Structure 1
């Protein structure tokens, strides 16, 4: 899973990224404008968003995301603990609110709880699509009961498609999610990996479920 941490205090941002990187892929930003741009790509499973940010505060970032129908869960981080601030953040579409200073284990637990609520994963941390079962805890894929070897990027691509089944994903979204904004490769790599994935799934009859949306990207669908 991929998270975006946004905090203008460099040392705290570094601490948050280090804390969460053992379980998630974590990108970071230090101001509201960068956060909005990155979050608009809609490639994140959750945002950890400071309220008091330069250029655009966390409340405004969230307001704009929700106005664009982007429903990525948001956890606000702030030193402001007034009830009115908490109510405002939640009314704007925030999902949780943690007051600084916070305990590391509390932050991890809150994020884990939000991801469970927003994810199609089952309680045993598996993600299912027809006969495909992804064990996210052990990074293992079974198809019709058989364990199938996948490379890291193939695994991440199939996981992302299943998380967003029946939704169109642009090539740019897939590229940013799997390879990242600062990758040395180009968006053309997406087509290469989709081809590889279809080839692996063909034996089990799932290759045609990865549908090409001409001029846009791909969608995992059984229709």
Structure 2
């Protein structure tokens, strides 16, 4: 299950990401401002968005309103230190499905997420994606060519998932670095290039033709 966490408090964000992944079993992408949250939500399939109310550039309320105005159907959980009834009403009226007041216990956060994911939200992307001779299951994280599995590392899986959600679009090395390794990661663009090459070699060993195109001086494009 995929979650987008938008939280500008680095200490809290790091803790939440760890707990959600290790104890909740979720796949979590973490951003630190509202503009990134808005952009990520439009380009990638998430089951739940966790939005902090007070964030740089766009606050959680703005992001929520903007997404709902575009008929975004997935679950949104709003986090905030604001705890008056009027604040809660404002958050829910903006389109949030649930509201969690800071400070909170991690067990309550996990419980809220379990409740949200049991609700019947409309899926925005198929969990199984097909391209050329391959099928890619985002739930089981398996890439298959017919009946044979093509083994991927964790980074290769994340990279392929990102590329498949953006077929035909050029992704810069900076975007790939942030989305696959995480905001604030200390790895370099060389790590991006090496991982792209490893994934490309695995795909083209079967296909025999270019799938991941290099865009000189910019990044990469996936041509399915």
Q: Distance in 1 between matches of 2:121 and 2:194?
A: 30
Query: Which structure 2 residue ranges, 5 or more long, are not aligned?
Result: 102-107
Deviates more, 1:131-140 or 1:171-180: 131-140
Residues 7-46 of structure 1 aligned to structure 2 (within 5 Å): 14=15, 18-19=19-20, 21=22, 22-26=24-28, 34-36=32-34, 38-39=36-37, 42=40, 45=46
**CA distance in 2 between partners of 1:195 and 1:19 (Å):** 30
C-alpha distance in structure 1 between counterparts of 2:13 and 2:156, whole Å = 33
Query: Paired residue for 1:213, among 195, 212, 215?
Result: 215
| Within-5 A mapping of 1:169-180 | 169-180=171-182
The whole-number CA distance in structure 2 between the counterparts of 1:221 and 1:112 is: 35
- Contact 1:5–1:13, Cα closer than 8 Å, also in 2: no
CA-based RMSD of the aligned residues comes to 3.9
- CA distance in 1: counterparts of 2:213 and 2:134, whole angstroms: 17
What is the alpha-carbon distance in structure 2 between the residues aligned to residue 155 and residue 199 of structure 1?
Answer: 14
State the distance in 2 between where 1:208 and 1:111 align.
38
- Rounded to whole Å, the distance in 1 between the matches of 2:217 and 2:73 is 25
Per-residue Cα deviation, 1:119-169 (whole angstroms, up to 9, x for no partner)? 332xxxx33333222233333221233111222212221122112223222
Q: Count residues with an aligned counterpart.
A: 203
Give the alignment of 1:66-81 within 5 angstroms. Answer: 74-77=76-79, 79=83
